[in-house]
Amino acid sequence: MSVIPGATALDLQGGEIAILMIHGFTGSTLSVQPWANALHQAGYSVRAPLLPGHGTRWEDLNQTRWQDWYQEVRKNFEELKSKHRRIFVAGFSMGGSLSIRLAAEYGDQVEGLILINPSVYDRRLIMKFVPVLKYFIPSVGGRGTDVARSNPPRHSYGRTPLKALHSLQGLWRTAQRDLHRIEQPLMIGYSPQDHVVDPANSELVIDNVSSIDIREVIFENSYHNVALDHDLELLVESSLAFISDVLSGAITQLDSEQELVDAEFDSIVSGLSLDESSPNTYLDDIEANAGADIYPGDNKELPTLSRIQRIALIGVIGGPLYSVLVRFFKIDLLGLDIWPGLLGLLGGVLLFFWQMRPEPEDEDGVAL
């Protein structure tokens, strides 16, 4: 069995404050190791489990489900709880969804949450066909590690397993349902030039969590994998500052839903000023910020289906449907029995295999 060199679980012993760090889909602990090492050097205990199906072969990942990945995360959190007084959870990409699930389950036992380019949905058209395609195509080719720096280390698969990707879609739905339950202090960082996870994922998280203390960090000089990119230093500094502020009490989490309501009400009232002597009013602030730079929304660089891929999809989906119409509903539009449907399915599958085959020299996959 081929194993990605260095793709092993990390257990860096330090002080009584621990950080559970979770890597992304098809990736490994190598994708977060520089970040983990830096936090450990600052005196924290850091644990980064290697999730089931990762770090070996993409075929192994197709044999797992998101529940398997989450159970590994949960097991490591329980072990940290038995040894450490306070625990933070940090998730990269898909690890963000797993972190949200964990924080929703354990509540205030999670001191704070750090999410870097979190992956909680993908609205590309191709994703809608994954539940069907997984029965015909085991995997599709990767598009290379999304890192702005040159010569990044190999840390993920060169292919994306479709059965595992379909399971990931289930994790996304679970994480989205859990967002309103997140009350912990939150640091969320995203890269505007992320070519793997649309930065709008971070916006969705910010808009739907119940946390009142949210710290945003923008990685202008990096692509998806910040820990291997130009903004590693900013990532480490921001993480350490966030953890320090939570530990010192400068950032706190709410103890009840009523406190959340009271805090939001006080925030609104304090922003309103009816005193004419006041230099600024709430409406003045809105007008002043009207021209501020705002993240434009969907990442325009996300890939779309090519013409050949669209034709292949028509064959893969339309072929079986035509055969069903002929066999069960006696609707034979072409008078050729089920053969047009079978040929359409076969042609679509062959087109996908031809179009989505990986380049021979590309061994690095994209970690979600």
Could you tell me which residue, 283 or 184, shows the higher pLDDT? 184
Please provide the average confidence, as pLDDT, over all residues in the chain: 84
Contact 114, 89 (CB under 8 A): yes
For tokens 């290379």, the residue is: 144
Residues 6+ apart with CB under 8 A from 184: 103, 108, 110, 111, 112, 113, 211, 253
Instruction: Summarize the confidence of residues 167-190 as an average pLDDT.
Output: 97
| pLDDT value of position 247 | 96
| pLDDT value of position 154 | 82
| pLDDT value of position 219 | 97
**Tokens coding 2:** 């081929």
> Does the pLDDT at position 287 exceed 90?
no
Compute how many other C-beta atoms are within 10 angstroms of the C-beta atom of residue 336: 12
**Strand-strand pairing, 86-92 and 159-161:** unpaired
Confidence of residue 358 (pLDDT cuts 50, 70, 90): low
> Does the pLDDT at position 91 exceed 90?
yes
Compute how many other C-beta atoms are within 10 angstroms of the C-beta atom of residue 121: 16
| pLDDT value of position 279 | 52
For residue 236, give the nearest of 15, 17, 43 by alpha carbon: 43
Q: Which tens digits make up the pLDDT trace of 144-155? A: 578 888 888 788
> Does the pLDDT at position 269 exceed 70?
no
> Does the pLDDT at position 283 exceed 80?
no
Find which of 203-207, 307-311, 318-322 is predicted with most confidence, using mean pLDDT.
203-207
Domain definitions of the chain by residue range? 10-122+159-258
Could you tell me which residue, 311 or 53, shows the higher pLDDT? 53
| pLDDT value of position 264 | 57
Could you tell me which residue, 70 or 311, shows the higher pLDDT? 70
| pLDDT value of position 316 | 79
Confidence of residue 284 (pLDDT cuts 50, 70, 90): low
Give the CATH superfamily of 10-122+159-258. Answer: Alpha/Beta hydrolase fold, catalytic domain (3.40.50.1820)
Cα separation, 88 vs 113, in Å, equals 6
For residue 161, give the nearest of 60, 72, 69 by alpha carbon: 60
> Does the pLDDT at position 314 exceed 90?
no
- Per DSSP, what are the bridge partners of residue 141? 159
**Tokens coding 85:** 């007084």
Which of the residue ranges 61-70, 227-236, 267-276, 319-328 would you say has the lowest mean pLDDT?
Answer: 267-276
| pLDDT value of position 315 | 76
- The pTM assigned to this predicted structure is 0.72
